[in-house]
Amino acid sequence: MTQTSGGQMAQHSVPFPLLIIIAMIATYLYPANLPGPMHELRLKDIYRSRHYATQRAPRSVIQRAQHLAAPEIAQIAADLRKLVKKYYTSATSYSPTQGDFQYFLCAVFYLWHSNRPIPAKPVLRDSTFDERTILVGYLKHDLEPVDGLVDEGRDNRLIFDDVFLFIDFNDETMIVSFIFVDGNGFEIDPEDVEIFSEYASTEDRNVTLFHHYEDSERIRVMDHNWHVAIWSARRKIKRFAEIGVTASEAANWPNRLETEYMEPFMTVERVLEVYELNFD
């Protein structure tokens, strides 16, 4: 987890030095009239704080969170709430804190203001080979060469080369399988594999891969959702800057809270609900 002054933020891959810088800024700029950073994020506290703008002319540059009005802040908070809900499963729950929200706001405005452009909406990247495999053994002997590979088709296919267990999802048959592959991703006959002693049990290695996949999937998807949340917040802020806000609007609750679609990640529990397991 990313630890903040407010508690726990959903995990994402913000580079560590940058994470610390944003956290320091959030601590320095923490509004004096808000409850402490460990307090649960409640919108009525945002309104009561009177920290945020009471009105703003159209086409004003929004450079910091305090230039937003309370109902605009509520719209940004909706993105954080959705992000957190996507991270935590139904078995566990976590309510974002005031400190989490201030961290999120600082991340939104880090090296950015409303006159700066925003890129296209982030696209979820495909999972990598490492995210879907674990190292379980090595080759007992050389394998047949494969056209197109380096070293005359024998790259990763020589005796003692690494062998991996790969989790394969077939979305047509809705079957999930565990297969042995070489370092190129080509399937290998189990008879060609010398399995490490700690993975001698089929169940042990399958369970280990399942949990490795779930952990990797959580990071992959939530990293994407983090960027979607930042993108969504900035897009809203650009709209807020264009239209401005009157004193009457700043004192009222928003008509509805808008959020962007965020991806769910595939837990082991969900895999078992959706797919049939093939242990052959």
Is there a contact between 109 and 26 (Cβ–Cβ < 8 Å)?
Answer: no
Instruction: Quote the pLDDT of residue 201.
Output: 96
d(CA 180, CA 243): 58
Q: What is the pLDDT of residues 108-117, one digit of tens each?
A: 999 999 999 9
Q: What is the pLDDT of residues 234-279, one digit of tens each?
A: 999 999 999 999 999 999 999 888 899 999 888 888 888 889 988 6
Q: Among residues 74, 73, 65, 68, which one has the least CA distance to residue 55?
A: 68
Q: What is the pTM of this model?
A: 0.86
In one letter, which amino acid is 131?
A: E
Instruction: Give the C-alpha distances (Å, rounded to integers) separating 264 from 76, 100, 135, 245, 250.
Output: 20, 21, 27, 34, 33
Q: Among residues 166, 278, 274, 270, which one has the least CA distance to residue 212?
A: 166
Kindly state the tokens that stand for 114. Answer: 């409303």
| Domain definitions of the chain by residue range | 2-125+222-266, 130-212+274-278
d(CA 140, CA 276): 31
Q: What is the pLDDT of residues 23-38, one digit of tens each?
A: 888 888 899 999 999 9
